């Protein structure tokens, strides 16, 4: 069956809205022009509410990882000790970056699919009182867990002088982030997730407390020197060449997100999470996370041998032109992950569930056919 | 709930594929250039298989109605008598055009929702042996009926010397049309239906038999003089200014349709019709047409007082950003019509059915919630 429309339901990149695509078609302009300066300063300011901060948000031409590295190199260096909270593949990335700079990373590991709780962190900090920074992941994309950032921030503040640095790449903009209120020192995200843009931009903000540390260090970095970005933003520009078309797109993204409103965006993502989870439960497909810690942006399912996750993904891809994500590292080939983030609406979730039902039926898996969609429909109409 | 994506499920205009939209973004070129001539002659040739003819297909900058009028004025004139087969709102349009030109239109009326059969036409022609043309509608958009064109053509050929002229606007390209094999003399369609383009183009082809009549007449028309288009197409151009961007789009449409293949396109539309009809039956919503004559492009539903069709359409529009069509003329406010044509795929049909279920539930209508989608899913997986 001909299926021209690609249905992209991975946890990023996410689909680009037509309005944003149109905005990115703007003719190229010089990045040192007054027009660009005005645009750039405007969108940088409009990012603040998503970070829950009055501090400036810096826009980097780079991937999320470049901004994670920026968070590391500007705050700690060779010989320092840090704590890295690892609840999946992306938590581990912070540790690897640190080790590249000869920083000692103490890992607090929890099993994949579980969150890290405040009491665990408290005990860990007691073991490692000398850490200068604690690195956490808000949404662990590899499992779909949301770590309780507010709870963890409270522990860091109460039990240490460390900075609290959060990778919020796969959720910021779709779930609450209150840097100032919670006491998060650095938060980082990327353009291709809740911000509905192509890959290529990263956003980063730092607290006054973080800036006090940053200002007293000379980072082992040039492109990723955060002070250079602060100096430039004060002059409504960037230290190095920005990704101009993506900035045009970001302006339209800000328009769309502001039209919907932050609270409504959060509610929409929670609804899509609840629809997905209810449907998967109805179909008897085990969720990898407890309801309380299920991300509003991505849901991981573990068939536990009931069927082959890769066969399901292959049928979805070849027959329905629908891409859901597979597992990473030791879960590669074993689980599948549904992205419901960014330019995704409840009816899109129905489509995913329907295709999964039909593909499983084709695979001969014993499921209560039709019950997944029905349950998701019920959640939808009872929610709004 | 924020729902940015417009879900357009009316029987035309239909959604524009991204590839086609991109093609229409081609920079403007002069329509008397060699580049345009080559493009125009190429797409005109590639339209032939959709009409089932070896004759040339002419491309008109105008609406479907302009090409219906072209079919009239080039073949009959004041004082002539014609037969018009009226099974709904669009059948009546041919009669109105004829009357504007002082042509006597004998109407063969059947109740809306019913097809016109060969034996009815045979009896009608016996009453009106002097008619010079018989006008029929292949898909009557107002009711979703498909008239049996091959059967009707046989009767016209066997029982008269009249030309057989078919309005195929809301179906050609999505359902079979075999002008040469069936004996259709003129067939007409528009760009915004199965051809997945914006409104603005009409396509028309005429048989050798029709050309014999046309060549012996001086039509009461200038822009709609078909002979001018024949003369120009022989020179790879148009008599008057063509719609250049739409022709760029049409080239990409031809690419897409040829990639899928005619037989597959027909099968996809039949599947979407079968999914829609099975779902509506499961939900207990009465169909306006018998299965045998249900169009593969649009399905009409008549709630028969069980619920308010306009309230349903309003909820779909305001809550799901989904547009389905209402009724026309005496059915205005009473029925609703689902378009499943052109850039529409089986998963899109699931979305429509799901939204209808949820909207009806919200309206408090007693339906077997979830059964519509389930039945459509069953039809889909059993079909492919």
Question: What pLDDT score was predicted for residue B215?
Answer: 98
Mean pLDDT for A27-40 is 96
pLDDT at A384: 66
d(CA B292, CA B289): 8
Write the CB contacts of B5 (distance below 8 Å, at least 6 apart in sequence): A345, B321
B17: chain A residues, CB-CB within 8 Å: 4
Q: Which residues pair with A59 in a beta bridge?
A: A203
Phi, psi (deg, nearest 5) at residue A275: -65, -45
Helix (H, G, I), strand (E, B) or coil at B118: helix
Is the link from the previous residue into B13 a cis peptide, with omega within 30 of 0?
yes
A179 pLDDT band (50/70/90 cuts)?
A: very high
Cα gap B335→B363, rounded to integer Å: 16
Residue B322 makes CB contacts below 8 A (sequence gap 6+) with A347, B6, B7, B9, B316, B351, B352, B355
Q: Helix H segments across chain A?
A: 18-24, 34-46, 48-51, 64-73, 89-100, 118-127, 149-159, 179-182, 208-215, 226-234, 244-260, 262-282, 309-320, 346-362, 371-383
- Name the residue of chain B whose CA is nearest to A379's CA: B358
| pLDDT of A383 | 87
The values of phi and psi at residue B335, to 5°, are: -125, 175
Contact A58, A204 (CB under 8 A): yes
- Asked if residue A13 has a cis previous peptide bond (ω within 30° of 0), the answer is yes
Name the strand (E) or helix (H) holding A183.
Answer: none
Contact A355 B343 (CB under 8 A): no
Work out the burial of residue A136: count CB atoms within 10 Å of its CB; fewer than 13 is exposed, 13-18 middle, 19 or more buried.
Answer: buried
What would the DSSP string read from start to end of B341-356? -SS--HHHHHHHHHHH
For residue A369, pLDDT over 80 is answered with yes
**Strand partners of residue B139:** B146
Q: How far apart are CA B46 and CA A106, in angstroms?
A: 67
Report which DSSP code applies to A37: H
User: What is each CA distance from A19 to A24, A47, B28, in whole angstroms?
Assistant: 9, 18, 23
- How would you class A40 by CB atoms within 10 Å of its CB: exposed for 0-12, middle for 13-18, buried for 19 or more? buried
Return the CATH fold of A18-258: 3.40.640
CA proximity to A260, closest of A170, A345, A168: A345
d(CA B294, CA B286): 13
Q: How far is CA A335 from CA A294, A354, B84, in A?
A: 15, 19, 62
Could you give the CA distance from residue B193 to residue B15 in angstroms, rounded to a whole number? 9
| Contact between B357 and A377 using a beta-carbon 8 Å cutoff | yes
Pick out the residues of the known binding site of A.
337
CB atoms within 10 A of CB A356: 27
* Three-state secondary-structure class, residue B134: strand
Which ranges of chain B have pLDDT less than 50?
none
Q: Write out B194-205 in H/E/C secondary structure.
A: CCCCCCCEEEEE
Q: Give the Cα separation of B295 and B173 in Å (integer).
A: 13
Q: Is B337 part of any known ligand binding site?
A: yes
Report the chain A residue with the minimal C-alpha distance to residue B261: A2
- Report chain A's mean pLDDT, rounded to a whole number: 97
Q: CA B241, CA B36: separation in Å to the nearest integer?
A: 12
**C-alpha span between A46 and A254 (Å, rounded):** 7
Q: What residue spans define the domains of chain A? A: 18-258, 261-383
Return the CATH fold of B261-383. 3.90.1150
The C-alpha atoms of residue A29 and residue A38 are separated, in whole angstroms, by 12
Instruction: Mark yes or no for CB contact A358/B371 under 8 Å.
Output: no
> Most B CBs within 10 Å: which of A377, A378, A379, as the mutation test of the B interface?
A377
- Mean of the pLDDT values across residues A288-301? 98
How far from B48 is each of A72, A169, B54, B251, CA to CA, in Å? 64, 52, 6, 13
Q: Do B380 and A374 touch (CB under 8 A)?
A: no
**Mutation site for A-interface testing, chosen from B323, B363, B377, B382 by largest number of A Cβ within 10 Å:** B377
Three-state DSSP state, B153: helix
Q: What are phi and psi of A16, to 5 degrees?
A: -95, 125
Q: Tell me if B18-258 shares its fold with B261-383.
A: no
Percentage above 90 pLDDT, chain A = 98
CB A188 within 8 A of CB A64: yes
| Cβ-nearest to B361 among A357, A358, A381 | A381
Find the helix or strand (DSSP H, E) in which B69 lies: helix B64-73
- The rounded distance, in Å, linking the Cα atoms of A58 and A240 is 12
- B4, B7, B370: residue with CB nearest A373: B370
| Distance of alpha carbon B1 from the chain centroid | 34
| Interface A:B, Cβ pairs < 8 A | 102
Question: Tens of pLDDT along B299-356?
Answer: 999 999 999 999 999 999 999 999 999 999 999 999 999 999 999 999 999 999 999 9
Task: Show the tokens assigned to A190.
Answer: 């990327």
Distances (CA, A) of A216 to A64, A188, A209, A227: 25, 21, 12, 11
Candidates B2, B15, B343, B352: best to mutate against A (most CBs of A within 10 A) is B2
The two tokens of residue A173 are: 């903009």
Between CA B217 and CA B330 the distance in angstroms is 38
Residue A1 confidence (pLDDT) above 70 = no
Nearest Cα neighbor of A305 from A349, A215, A365, A265 is A365
Per-residue pLDDT of A183-240, as tens digits, reads 999 999 999 999 999 999 999 999 999 999 999 999 999 999 999 999 999 999 999 9
* Whether A351 and B355 lie within 8 Å, measured CB to CB: no
Pairwise CA distance, residues B327 & B204, whole Å: 27
Name the 3-class secondary structure at B268: helix
- The pair of three-digit structure tokens given for residue A326, joined into one six-digit string: 């597979």
State the sign of the Cα–Cα–Cα–Cα dihedral A327, A333, A338, A341. positive
| CB-based contacts of B189-193 (< 8 A; 24+ apart in sequence) | B189/B64, B189/B67, B190/B12, B190/B63, B190/B64, B190/B67, B191/B246, B191/B250, B192/B12, B192/B13, B192/B14, B193/B11, B193/B12, B193/B13, B193/B14, B193/B169, B193/B297, B193/B341, B193/B342
Residues of A in contact with B269 (CB under 8 A): none
Please tell me the predicted confidence (pLDDT) of residue B384. Answer: 66
How far is C-alpha B309 from the geometric centre of its chain's CA atoms?
23
CB contact under 8 A, A4 and B256: yes
Whether the Cβ atoms of residue B208 and residue B179 lie closer than 8 Å to each other? no
In sequence order, the 6+-apart residues with CB closer than 8 A to the CB of B249 are B16, B20, B21, B23, B24, B197, B198
* Three-state SS sequence of A58-123: EEEECCHHHHHHHHHHCCCCCCCEEEEEECCHHHHHHHHHHHHCCCEEEEEECCCCCCCCHHHHHH
Degrees to nearest 5, angle at CA B243 with B237 and B244: 75
């Amino acid at each position: 069956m001909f299926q021209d429309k690609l249905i992209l339901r991975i946890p990023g990149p996410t689909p680009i809205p037509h309005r944003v695509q149109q905005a990115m078609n703007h003719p190229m302009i010089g990045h040192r022009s007054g027009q660009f300066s005005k645009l750039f300063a405007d969108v940088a300011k409009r990012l603040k509410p998503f970070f829950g901060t009055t501090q400036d948000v810096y826009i980097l031409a780079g991937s999320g990882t470049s901004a994670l590295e920026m968070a590391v190199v500007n705050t700690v260096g060779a010989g320092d000790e840090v704590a890295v909270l690892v609840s999946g593949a992306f938590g581990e990335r912070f540790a690897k970056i640190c080790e590249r700079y000869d920083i000692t990373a103490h890992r607090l590991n929890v099993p994949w699919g579980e969150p890290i709780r405040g009491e665990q962190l408290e005990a860990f900090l007691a073991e490692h009182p000398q850490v200068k920074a604690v690195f956490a992941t808000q949404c662990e994309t590899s499992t779909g867990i949301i770590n309780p950032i507010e709870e963890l921030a409270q522990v860091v503040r109460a039990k240490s002088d460390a900075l609290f640095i959060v990778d919020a790449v796969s959720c910021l903009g779709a779930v609450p982030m209150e840097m100032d209120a919670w006491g998060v020192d650095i938060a980082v995200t990327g353009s291709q997730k809740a911000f509905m843009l192509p890959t290529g931009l990263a956003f980063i903000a730092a607290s006054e407390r973080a800036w006090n540390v940053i200002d007293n260090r000379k980072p082992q970095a040039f492109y990723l020197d955060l002070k250079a970005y602060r100096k430039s933003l004060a002059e409504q520009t960037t230290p190095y060449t920005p990704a101009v078309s993506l900035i045009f797109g970001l302006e339209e993204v800000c328009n769309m997100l502001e039209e919907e409103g932050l609270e409504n965006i959060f509610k929409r993502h929670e609804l899509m999470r609840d629809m997905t989870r209810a449907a998967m439960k109805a179909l008897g497909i085990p969720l990898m996370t407890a309801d309380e810690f299920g991300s509003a942006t991505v849901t991981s399912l573990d068939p536990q041998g009931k069927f082959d996750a890769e066969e399901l993904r292959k049928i979805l891809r070849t027959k329905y032109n629908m891409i859901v994500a597979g597992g990473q590292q030791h879960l590669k080939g074993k689980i599948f992950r549904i992205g419901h983030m960014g330019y995704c609406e409840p009816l899109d979730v129905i489509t995913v569930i329907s295709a999964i039902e039909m593909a499983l039926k084709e695979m001969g898996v014993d499921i209560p056919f039709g019950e997944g969609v029905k349950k998701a429909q019920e959640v939808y109409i009872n929610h709004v």
